[in-house]
């Protein structure tokens, strides 16, 4: 069915979001049209604000509105461990269990030879730089249990072990192929407590 151009453009915009098909995009577009002007303006301002005000922490690579981020600036955190994750959603998932009190490093992606993504294409060099000037004794690799997550974990292990840094991996409390952000808190708690050395 042909829609007026403004609705068609809105449907197209929504359909570019991950997991949103054309039917859901159409429902969202029509829902948005039915919202009050005030709600639409607030929604638009929040989108623009998030895009403009968020940046990546210069230390850990986590999304933040202040640089360095609050976690890196927190002096009560254990500075001997760094938990390496794929993206900022994984930091939030780990923080929700309130068990891990060390620092983080966000890779902003994974090594994926099939997609032409190598070690230089993710936030890996800054991790190595951080380790040179710190008291870190353990790096916990918390990438997803996928082929790309495993490849990234093995690469990190090979690079860091010669430097004498203990490299561990989250225990297999997480299902293979599952994303950390969707795991329940008990599974994440067991995974962090039962991590193993790579």
Q: In which region does residue 19 sit, left (phi positive, over 0), alpha (psi from -120 to 50) or beta (all else)?
A: left
Class of residue 144 by CB neighbours under 10 A (exposed 0-12, middle 13-18, buried 19+): buried
We report the CATH number of the domain holding residue 145 as 3.40.1360.10
> How far is it, in rounded angstroms, from Cα 171 to Cα 162?
23
- Judge whether residue 174 has pLDDT over 70: no
- Judge whether residue 179 has pLDDT over 90: no
Do 96 and 124 lie in a common domain? Answer: yes
We report the CATH number of the domain holding residue 9 as 1.10.8.420
Residue 173 confidence (pLDDT) = 65
- Dump pLDDT digits (tens) for 99-156: 999 999 999 999 998 999 999 999 999 999 898 877 899 999 999 888 899 899 999 9
Residue 163 confidence (pLDDT) = 85
- Dump pLDDT digits (tens) for 33-76: 999 999 999 999 999 999 999 999 999 999 999 999 999 999 99
Do 40 and 70 lie in a common domain? Answer: no
Closest C-alpha to 102, from 84, 127, 129, 125: 84
Do 73 and 38 lie in a common domain? Answer: no
Q: Which of the pair, 60 or 161, is modelled with greater confidence? A: 60
- Judge whether residue 180 has pLDDT over 80: yes
- Judge whether residue 29 has pLDDT over 90: yes
Residue 164 confidence (pLDDT) = 86
> How far is it, in rounded angstroms, from Cα 39 to Cα 37?
6
Do 102 and 37 lie in a common domain? Answer: no
**69 close to 51: Cβ distance less than 8 angstroms:** no
- Judge whether residue 97 has pLDDT over 80: yes
How many structural domains is the chain composed of?
A: 2
């Amino acid at each position: 069915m042909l829609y007026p151009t403004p609705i068609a453009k809105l449907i197209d915009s929504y359909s570019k979001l991950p997991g949103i098909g054309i039917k859901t995009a159409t429902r969202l577009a029509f829902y948005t049209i039915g919202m009050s002007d005030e709600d639409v303006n607030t929604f638009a301002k929040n989108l623009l604000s998030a895009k403009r005000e968020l940046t990546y922490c210069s230390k850990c690579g986590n999304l933040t509105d202040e640089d360095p981020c609050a976690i890196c600036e927190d002096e009560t955190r254990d500075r001997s461990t760094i938990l390496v994750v794929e993206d900022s959603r994984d930091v939030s998932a780990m923080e929700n269990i309130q068990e891990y009190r060390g620092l983080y490093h966000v890779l902003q992606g994974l090594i994926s030879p099939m997609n032409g993504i190598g070690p230089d294409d993710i936030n890996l060099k800054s991790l190595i730089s951080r380790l040179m000037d710190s008291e870190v004794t353990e790096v916990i690799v918390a990438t997803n249990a996928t082929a790309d997550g495993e490849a990234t974990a093995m690469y990190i292990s090979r690079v860091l072990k010669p430097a004498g840094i203990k490299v561990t991996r989250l225990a297999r409390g997480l299902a293979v192929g599952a994303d950390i952000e969707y795991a329940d808190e008990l599974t994440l708690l067991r995974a962090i407590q039962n991590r193993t050395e790579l």
